[in-house]
Chains A and B, each alone.
Chain A
Amino acid sequence: MPDIFKSKNSGKKLRVALTGNPNVGKTSLFNALTGSRQHVGNWPGVTVEKKTGTLKHEGFEIEVIDLPGTYSLTAYSPDEIVARDYIIEEKPDVVIQVLDATNLERNLYLTTQLLELGAQVLIALNMTDLAEERGDSIDIQKMEEFLEVPVVKTVAREEKGIPALLDAVLRTAGKEHVHKIGYGNALESKIGEIMTLLSEDTGLKAAYPLRWLSVKLLEGDENAFGKIKGRPVESKVRKLLDSEDMAFFEAEMADQRYETISCLTALISKKPERVLEPSDLIDRVLTSKKLGIPIFLALMWGAFDVTFTFGTPFMNIIDSFFGWLSGVVSTNVSNPWLSSFLGDGIIGGVGSVILFLPNILLLFLMLSILEDSGYLARAAFVMDRLMYSIGLQGKASIPMLMGFGCTVPAIMATRTLESPRDRLLTILVTPFMSCGARMPVYVVLAGTFFGESAGSVIFAIYILGIMVAIFSAKLLGSTVLKGEVSPFIMELPPYRLPSPKTSLLHMWENGSMYLKKAGTIILAGVVLVWLAASLPVGVEYGSESSLIGSLGHFLEPLVAPLGFDWKVAVALVFGFVAKEVVIGSLGVLYGAGEDESAIMAGMQADPALDPVIAFGLMVFTLLYVPCVATVGVIKKETGSWKWTLFSAAYGTTLAWIFAFLIYQGSRILGWT
């Protein structure tokens, strides 16, 4: 009978947490175990929050929790705290540490901390194929003896070693085993003193492994101090540690852990004489001082060029389909209200958004290929020098690059930034990176007013977004968010040929989110626009005397200095629901429905619009308050209404100033 029956969660259910350094194949293992299709990326920080899945093995129902990747269990970044707190507070039956066999030394640091935590650890020695390919050999038996935990070889990408790992889970669950790393007499005596104090508190004793908590307190871990805050022992512990140099203790303990690790690696692993890897050589070029940034810009241009040009014929196909559908509705539905609701509202509004699905899918495919190849991590490295000069660290460039796809996951990805200041600053500037949802607005406006130069104008808008993000980071970083930039430490993953399956899957995951949005929030938005354009009853659809017209006229004075009329004001208001709705609303207001060429013709014929105003509108759409989903995630990630409102107000103010300068400047110069 497996030891599981001695487990706290005895019965047929088990909870298993997956932990490990970033980019060691945790998400691949999670997918292999649970059969899910979570996104696997080739850069650190893919898992930014816990993901769960279940499986059955030998009659047991096993719940698997994929924790964010961490290098250690200190509390320097939010994802480290998420991982650590889960293991301490939730006490999973087994903690599987996914360990990269090609990088034992660095990965084992986390192992030492997991063992100290008193967790029931099981090691999945992953990427053993890559280690063997380069001639490394690891003695699994010696490793198990030294660490006193089971070690199972896996190749998660190919789903190898999974049954053996699951058998080991059943053997490990419920086993009580205390692991201890000796820190030398002086430190051990201090640890002992703190443990004695902590053991007076029965609540603490029940909740946390006291040796671990004592070690953390001795290291000056703020999160650990939070756990004793307000308890009677707090003052005693603080008094004991007041006169001590905790930074010294932290460094000493890290040294001891590394000493243990070097003893272990010397004992268990043999490596051939190392030659330069292809990845190292490619990095000489892609991360070089002179060519790194130009190559990055050229690759980004390539990605955008494919997105915009290759997607056009597919857009035309969708356009024709919705045109046909609209015709079918208008000929077959005799009730004018229903016909208008279906034709102008649903088909017109949603159709004008789905039209851009090919571009969105291509954009995500391009980002996915760059990410899966390992290049995105290099882009962060290359950008570090530039980012540092604007008061951010290179790692901030990854969420910013992801922002070209969708701002919501991009803002969640800021969790990989250790410093709260860097994180907040990145959250505030990421919405300026032009997301895929804004693209329909640019395509229609640039296509209408800039003819053959449309591509260059759209590219200029993207560049402007980057420039505004840089300017804002510099401005906010030197005023409201003053502080030192934290050092840039990031693992560069090996280059890999992107697998078509993974890249297409990633593209579809994001693309289907866009489709889902079109069927829910955007549909609701366009129905709202249609209602406002049709009421009060009897009014001409979308006319100035409709509800939407009144709203537009009410707002018009605010945007008149930018050259925008009431129709644009209304479209911008509804754009808060989702940016795509800007075009859907204009379609309704110009009575053009989903027909892109009819929207373009309507705008071209409108004397209130010209190339300058259109450019101002594109810039306004780029910079003003992000969509409601983004605002929600900013609130969630900052935990502050103050910063959420600041983000919305700052963006909208900048948008107004830029559009004002464009319009009024052009007027003075006689361009409009």
Chain B
Amino acid sequence: MDIEANYQKEKRFALVLGSLYAAAGLLQLILGTGLAGIFFYLGQPGEVLHAALLAFADMLFIPADILGGFVLLVVGATFLSGAKELGAGISEGKAYVYVGTLLALTFAVVYLLTLSGNALDAFVLGGEALKNWSFLSDLKPGIYLAVLALPAYLSRKTRFSLGKPSWE
């Protein structure tokens, strides 16, 4: 594949993943801060929009979480910066895509550790506070969006390893 086509592929990947992370982060932030209540000022249509937003968030397991939203926005912004640089023909923009991928996976591990800790507490230790807990309770965009980032990481892993000058 020629270099230009490779850049375009990287750019599209960064754009899609960046947008998804940014949207999920923004939604978590809006729900967490209670900004969604602003829809009520729009009267009946606003109420419908509000209900739709909540249903949408519920369907995609998007929690009301300010700090979690901030984290997803940071990951999204990293991918989007990469897309912007690659779009402008700056080859080093790939670094943003790579770091974005690493961040996505790092935070997925953080969320998975939370999930496994809660699973251990609920199922093995029978923690009272988590008696109604299920795996879906801790399923968050930070986990399932990282599934999209994983193939990108694996495909780069052979070409880019820390401590070796194998960057293309």
A-to-B contact residues, CB < 8 Å: 130, 133-134, 275-279, 281-282, 284-286, 288, 290-291, 294-295, 297-299, 301-302, 305-306, 309-313, 316-317, 320, 456, 459, 494-497
Contact = CB atoms under 8 A, between A and B. Distances in A.
Interface of B: 66-67, 70-71, 74-75, 77-78, 81, 92, 94-96, 98-99, 103, 106-107, 110, 113-114, 116-118, 120-121, 124-125, 127, 160-167
B166 A298 contact: no
Contacts of A309: 113-114, 117-118
B74 A134 contact: no
A608 B77 CA distance: 47
A282 B163 contact: no
B110 A291 contact: no
B74 A282 contact: no
B136 to A, nearest CB: 17
A497 B103 contact: no
B125 A278 contact: no
B162 A496 contact: yes
A581 to B, nearest CB: 27
B74 A291 contact: yes
A313 B124 contact: yes
A456 B113 contact: no
Contacts of B161: 278
Contact of A281 (B66, B92, B125): B92
28 contacts: A130-B163, A133-B163, A134-B165, A278-B161, A278-B164, A278-B165, A281-B94, A282-B99, A285-B95, A285-B96, A290-B77, A294-B70, A295-B74, A295-B78, A295-B103, A297-B74, A298-B70, A298-B103, A299-B106, A301-B67, A302-B107, A302-B110, A306-B110, A310-B116, A313-B118, A313-B120, A313-B121, A313-B124
Which DSSP category, helix, strand, loop or mixed, fits chain A's interface? helix
B67 A497 contact: no
A316 B95 contact: no
B114 A278 contact: no
Nearest to B90: A284
A373 to B, nearest CB: 8
Contacts of A281: 92, 94-95, 98, 167
B99 A285 contact: yes
Given A285-B81, A456-B66, 12 more contacts: A134-B165, A275-B165, A276-B167, A291-B78, A302-B110, A305-B110, A309-B117, A310-B116, A313-B121, A316-B121, A494-B163, A496-B163
A586 to B, nearest CB: 21
B81 A290 contact: yes
A284 B95 contact: yes
A302 B71 contact: yes
Given A309-B118, A312-B121, A316-B127, A278 B162 contact: yes
Contacts of B164: 133, 278
A288 B96 CA distance: 10
A282 B98 contact: yes
A285 B113 contact: no
A316 B125 contact: yes
Which DSSP category, helix, strand, loop or mixed, fits chain B's interface? helix
Nearest to B77: A291
Contacts of B92: 276, 281, 284
A317 B116 CA distance: 15
Contacts of A133: 163-165
Contacts of A497: 162-163
Contact of A298 (B66, B71, B117): B71
Contacts of A302: 71, 106-107, 110
A137 to B, nearest CB: 15
Contacts of A496: 162-163
Contacts of B95: 281-282, 284-285
Contact of B113 (A279, A284, A288, A306): A306
Top 3 A-B pairs, shortest CB-CB distance: A281-B95, A285-B99, A310-B117
A448 to B, nearest CB: 13
Contacts of A459: 67
From B75, B113, B165, name the one whose CB has the most chain A CB atoms within 10 angstroms.
B165
B165 A305 contact: no
A560 to B, nearest CB: 34
Contacts of B120: 313
Nearest to A276: B167
Given A301-B71, A497-B162, A313 B103 contact: no
A276 B160 CA distance: 12
A297 B74 CA distance: 9
Nearest to B67: A301
B99 A313 contact: no
A317 B117 CA distance: 12
B109 to A, nearest CB: 8
A51 to B, nearest CB: 27
B74 A317 contact: no
From B66, B70, B77, B99, name the one whose CB has the most chain A CB atoms within 10 angstroms.
B99
A302 B121 CA distance: 20
From B78, B92, B107, B163, name the one whose CB has the most chain A CB atoms within 10 angstroms.
B163
A289 B10 CA distance: 23
B110 A313 contact: no
Contacts of B78: 285, 291, 295
B71 to A, nearest CB: 5
B114 A305 contact: yes
Given A278-B162, A456-B67, A311 B117 contact: yes
Contacts of A297: 70, 74
Given A281-B94, A305-B110, A495 B99 contact: no
A413 B29 CA distance: 37
Contacts of B98: 281-282
A282 B164 CA distance: 13
A216 B94 CA distance: 49
B74 A298 contact: yes
B117 A313 contact: yes
A282 B96 CA distance: 8
From A130, A133, A290, A302, name the one whose CB has the most chain B CB atoms within 10 angstroms.
A302
A541 B63 CA distance: 46
B67 A313 contact: no
A94 to B, nearest CB: 31
